Amino acid sequence: MTVQTWLGDACSLVNAFRAGETSPLEQLDACIAAIEASELNAFSYLDTDAARATAKSADVSLPFGGLPIGFKELDPVAGWPFTEASLVFKDRVGQWDSTMATRLRAAGAVFVGQTTASEFGGINCTNTKIHGTTRNPWNTERTPGGSSGGSAAAVAGGLVPIASAGDGGGSIRIPSGFTGMFGLKATYGRIPRGPHVYQPPLTVVIGCVSRSVRDTARWFDNCNGFDSRDTLSLPRVEGWEAGLGTHELRGKKAAFSIDLGAAVVNPAIVATVVNAAEALIADAGLKRVDVVVKLPEAGIEWAMSNLVGLMGTLGDRYPGCNDELTPEIQFGMNIASHHFDLRQAGAVENFRRDVNETMADIFDDVDFLFCSTNPDVAFDAAGPLPTVVGDIDLVKEVGFERAMGNNGALTFPANLTGNPAVTIPAGTVDGLPVGLQVVGRHHEEQLLLDLALIAERARPWPLVVPGAPV
């Protein structure tokens, strides 16, 4: 008898293991078969022999005991390819497990293989020279987003029940929004990065793409907590899953700004997100308050500043490796290496300060800030980044620089300030998922999880794409 991949959430699969309804090895083999047959191109590497050995001896009493997971290729796993989705490092092999990988293994997870990502996590579309195009299971002509596109496609597409992800400008929330999944970008430092990690520009956090709120809570239960190899990581917090639904939200204040004063949003998206936000505010008993939200506009300098770390990664290989890079990375590296100077670096730090002050002013008055996750539904799988939203030509309306940054304009402010934020499935437009984003105060992820839990219970979302696996 052929065993189908588990189409419930990760926690329910662990429960099924404990009840003897299925086994870790059965589910692993089903995942491998589904991945090999899939047209999504969500995995770049499978470690079948090691995964089967782990599944055979899995201790299902552990939090993730026997659970098959995907692990995003931008984080190292010892013995696996560590290409960072780039031809430049096509022969590099991971020399150690990341801290998050180590903690997941200790929790009993079975590492199936690597999920695809955009090159160096640089853009919101998973299409690279080394691995090709990753596709959205809701519509394979569309992208699952990036940089955690493979993880989102794999979880939504029924290939694995949960997968790791990272978010430096929206790379958990954007693909979760595009694929109808749940995603939490935690407070900066909540899960340690490393070892041997480049920390600036202090925007990147790691976590997962999941099918349910409790899956994400369990992930953070097992992965959060200070590690000395990430000196900016936060002290451990207990009780993420056990505390779900226990925090009093009624009477807390919520502001709503569909576009954060910084993005152009498709009117069809506006209607869907507004309906979802109003319903959740009512269900949670929040108090709606009017707050002017107008975030400072990011210039091209901010994008260039993020390439400083990449220059360190490429080292003497650049510019000789230029032809191996994706066009977007080529463009950015060329501009940054020739035109980014101390004056522009100063402008970046002024911008960072202004965004921090603006966000702090907002959270002086509110507990939650509601907005859209993405300006539009998922765009073409192979890119490029869209410059048209609905019927609006962004280049004509707001200029080339803002047009190119529009797809991430709703998500990256929370990275810049370190605030936690979630994306909650809010419905569909033209048959494609739409996400509602809620930003919270620093260190208050558990309030965001409880808010998402209310939405999940009131309006359950599909745990996988109808008809998955694909």
What CATH number does residue 156 fall under?
3.90.1300.10
Q: Please check whether residue 325 lies inside any domain of the structure.
A: no
Rounded to the nearest 10 degrees, what angle do helices 445-458 and 213-223 cross at?
160
Can you tell me the distance from the alpha carbon of 311 to that of 117, in angstroms, rounded to the nearest whole number?
Answer: 19
Average pLDDT value for the chain: 95
- Average of pLDDT values for 394-413? 89
- What are the tens digits of pLDDT across the range 106-144? 999 999 999 999 999 999 999 999 999 999 999 999 999
Can you tell me the distance from the alpha carbon of 278 to that of 7, in angstroms, rounded to the nearest whole number?
Answer: 30
Q: Please check whether residue 247 lies inside any domain of the structure.
A: yes
Check whether 4 has a pLDDT greater than 70: yes
Can you tell me the distance from the alpha carbon of 118 to that of 98, in angstroms, rounded to the nearest whole number?
Answer: 19
**Domain containing residue 108:** 10-301+335-458
Check whether 51 has a pLDDT greater than 60: yes
Q: pLDDT category, 469, cuts 50, 70, 90?
A: confident
Q: Please check whether residue 167 lies inside any domain of the structure.
A: yes
Check whether 174 has a pLDDT greater than 90: yes
Instruction: Identify the pLDDT of residue 299.
Output: 63
Q: Please check whether residue 326 lies inside any domain of the structure.
A: no
Name, in order, each residue with C-beta under 8 angstroms of 445's C-beta and a sequence gap of 6 or more: 184, 186, 187, 190, 220, 240, 420
Can you tell me the distance from the alpha carbon of 365 to that of 227, in angstroms, rounded to the nearest whole number?
Answer: 33
Instruction: Identify the pLDDT of residue 307.
Output: 83
Phi-psi group of 386: left, alpha or beta (phi > 0 → left; psi -120 to 50 → alpha; rest → beta): beta
Q: Please check whether residue 469 lies inside any domain of the structure.
A: no
Q: Please check whether residue 4 lies inside any domain of the structure.
A: no
Q: Would the pTM count as exceeding 0.85?
A: yes
Residue 11: its H or E element = helix 10-19
Instruction: Identify the pLDDT of residue 97.
Output: 98
Check whether 405 has a pLDDT greater than 60: yes
- Average of pLDDT values for 231-239? 97
Check whether 1 has a pLDDT greater than 80: no
Q: pLDDT category, 339, cuts 50, 70, 90?
A: confident
Instruction: Identify the pLDDT of residue 200.
Output: 79
Strands (E), 87-133: 110-115, 127-128, 132-133
Per the structure, the count of domains in the chain is: 1
- What are the tens digits of pLDDT across the range 271-310? 999 999 999 999 999 999 999 999 887 666 667 777 888 9
| Size of the chain in residues | 470
State the residue for tokens 């990690």: 197
Q: Please check whether residue 91 lies inside any domain of the structure.
A: yes
- Average of pLDDT values for 184-193? 98
Q: pLDDT category, 84, cuts 50, 70, 90?
A: very high
Among the listed residues 444, 293, 421, the one whose alpha carbon sits nearest the alpha carbon of residue 362: 293
Q: Are 193 and 230 in contact (CB under 8 A)?
A: yes
Q: Please check whether residue 315 lies inside any domain of the structure.
A: no
Instruction: Identify the pLDDT of residue 143.
Output: 98
- Average of pLDDT values for 43-57? 98
Name, in order, each residue with C-beta under 8 angstroms of 139's C-beta and a sequence gap of 6 or more: 378, 431, 432
